[in-house]
Amino acid sequence: MTDEYKALESQIREIYGRVVYAHKTHEKCADILKYRSDGLKFVEVALSALTTTSILGVLFGTGKTFEIVAAVFATASLFLTLYAKDFDYLAIAEKHKQSALDILDIRERFLSLLVDIKIGNKSIDELQATRDALNADLVSTYRGAPKTISKGYQKAVKALKNNEEFTFTDAEIDCFLPATLRRS
């Protein structure tokens, strides 16, 4: 492999690594925001149930306690509703999920480009043109993607480095393949 091909391969490997992290970060952001949305919905339902129960206590009870409790839960429910109106966690989670899928496609195309470099059957000009097209697609995808959150990136780092969510042993891959395509 010539120096030109090695330099191109080094650059593509660098980009590929960043794309792997971007993909996993968007996946983790989607998970976090879905969890937040579910939690918010749960608290809304709980407050609604507590408010309703307290109001029933007011209707059928005799003490001031139920009136105060109903007012507290109704007020908490109002504040939660006002807070939640500005945040559609589920919609943002869906955008992260879509961005992750778009980035996954580009990630796989960068991987194929690395394979093409190793095979050595394409000219440097062809490889550079493919790289440039992929970079343009990547920038376009990033422009349309929602902003990631630091907690999502931290979870992505943990998933990729510690949990090895993106790596497989030959034995693991062999389990998915027919016997004729297995290495062991």
Q: Are 89 and 66 in contact (CB under 8 A)?
A: no
Mean pLDDT score across all residues of the chain: 91
Distance CA 38, CA 148 (A): 19
pLDDT of the residue at 83: 86
Of 41, 45, 40, 48, nearest to 70 (Cα)? Answer: 48
Of 152, 149, 141, nearest to 31 (Cα)? Answer: 152
- Provide the residue range defining the domain that includes 101: 3-181
Instruction: Decide if pLDDT at 177 tops 80.
Output: no
pTM tops 0.75, yes or no:
yes
Q: Cβ-count burial of 36 within 10 angstroms (0-12 exposed, 13-18 middle, 19+ buried)?
A: middle
Of 79, 73, 24, 21, nearest to 52 (Cα)? Answer: 73
* pLDDT: which is higher, 178 or 63: 178
pLDDT of the residue at 181: 75
- The model's confidence at residue 35, banded by pLDDT at 50, 70 and 90, is very high
pLDDT of the residue at 31: 97
User: Could you give the number of structural domains in the chain?
Assistant: 1
Percent of the chain topping pLDDT 70: 99
Distance CA 69, CA 170 (A): 61
Of 106, 92, 103, 105, nearest to 29 (Cα)? Answer: 92
Q: Are 149 and 32 in contact (CB under 8 A)?
A: yes
| Region 17-36 average pLDDT | 96
Residue 114 identity: L
Instruction: Decide if pLDDT at 42 tops 80.
Output: yes
Structure tokens at 162: 């510690």
- The model's confidence at residue 65, banded by pLDDT at 50, 70 and 90, is confident
Q: Is 140 helix (H, G, I), strand (E, B) or coil?
A: helix
Structure tokens at 66: 């139920």
**Lowest-confidence region among 20-24, 56-60, 141-145:** 56-60
Give the HSE-up count for residue 119: Cα atoms under 13 Å, Cβ half-sphere.
10
pLDDT of the residue at 104: 96
| Region 18-28 average pLDDT | 96
Instruction: Decide if pLDDT at 24 tops 80.
Output: yes
Distance CA 106, CA 153 (A): 19
| Region 105-125 average pLDDT | 94
Distance CA 100, CA 49 (A): 37
Percent of the chain topping pLDDT 90: 69
